[in-house]
Structure 1
């Protein structure tokens, strides 16, 4: 059995769609970071997206854990032309609503679809499980990347996965056992 502890990066305080933009995380709440680190298994391997908000969060909670190289496949959804725009600033509101209400093959202009991010994150997790079978893994990533895995574990539609809240610095614990995922906790705040 492998356990994956998904941690969403620290907050950016942005009020827009932040995908591949490299915004820093606010990691100033040292007590909260310490609680998060203490909650996670000490012997776990730590990996993160290559975006600074995730990699800095991973560094902050590593605490003598083995740190694996960043993985760009753990990045957030690529919002393309919508990147760093507020929802109400997107000119084609019908396209925007369809992207969120019917996640699947619909993509932002110049960006990626839900199915594409799911395939990308699945590749990263398969590589991790193949390289480190039976290990505990702390994966510091993003809202969308984590929800792709919640969807897999729960066997729900993408739209149903979007109903789950994934707070900054929360832990979502998924177990890989007998070739299937089980969700033990979603959005746990230590």
Structure 2
């Protein structure tokens, strides 16, 4: 059974801090990009998003009559714990060495009371397994979430994928087959 996952990053929040599980709204004023994106996606594919408002609202904006699946909290961004809604300078003051390891050696390193790359990857991958089946599934999620799945698809270590750009309202397409994976567009802005 082969399923193509059309990963969409939610609209921008304009936050200048670490935003993981905080429920900040998305700026969806770029209606031209939303129109192009909606037109580019497969017509009858179901749409699912994380349960955070920035993803939910973006999914609703591009659904355009496509079936809307219930929101899934397993598709949330990385949980930044004590670093949530703090800027890099604030984090550096309290957890300088740890924050450098979080970015330089992603994988098992987590923010205090947060989760690591691999914990996020496992959570998201579990959600993906339940979504396999239809030919196409549209998922509206977050930067880190999309990167975990792209790293798996490309067989790259977290440190090797972290610099990959994933813009707001961009598309990354990953097809999972019974024994193979194919990566299409990455960070595509139709």
TM-score interval (norm. to shorter):
over 0.9
Q: Which residue of 2 aligns with 1:71?
A: 72
Number of aligned residue pairs: 187
Distance 1:166 1:39 in 2: 17
Aligned residues of 1:34 and 1:61 also touching (Cα < 8 A): yes
Aligned residues of 1:153 and 1:180 also touching (Cα < 8 A): no
Q: Which residue of 1 aligns with 2:128?
A: 125
Distance 2:67 2:118 in 1: 31
CA drift at 1:181: 2.1
Question: What is the Cα-based RMSD across aligned positions, in Å?
Answer: 0.8
Q: Which residue of 1 aligns with 2:105?
A: 102
- Could you report, residue by residue, the CA deviation over 1:120-158 in whole angstroms, capped at 9, with x for unpaired residues? 0000000111xxx14200000000000000001100000
CA drift at 1:57: 0.1
CA drift at 1:29: 1.4
Q: Which residue of 2 aligns with 1:34?
A: 35
Q: Does 1:161 align with 2:188?
A: no
Q: Which residue of 2 aligns with 1:151?
A: 151
In terms of fraction of residues, the more strand-rich structure is 1
Aligned residues of 1:45 and 1:135 also touching (Cα < 8 A): no
Q: 2:95 aligns with which of 92, 96, 103?
A: 92
Distance 1:147 1:32 in 2: 22
Q: Which moved more, 1:174-183 or 1:86-95?
A: 174-183
Question: 1:169-184 to 2 correspondence within 5 Å?
Answer: 169-184=169-184
Unmatched tracts of structure 1, length 5 or more: none
CA drift at 1:180: 3.0
Distance 1:163 1:128 in 2: 27
Q: Does 1:4 align with 2:5?
A: yes
Q: Which residue of 2 aligns with 1:53?
A: 54
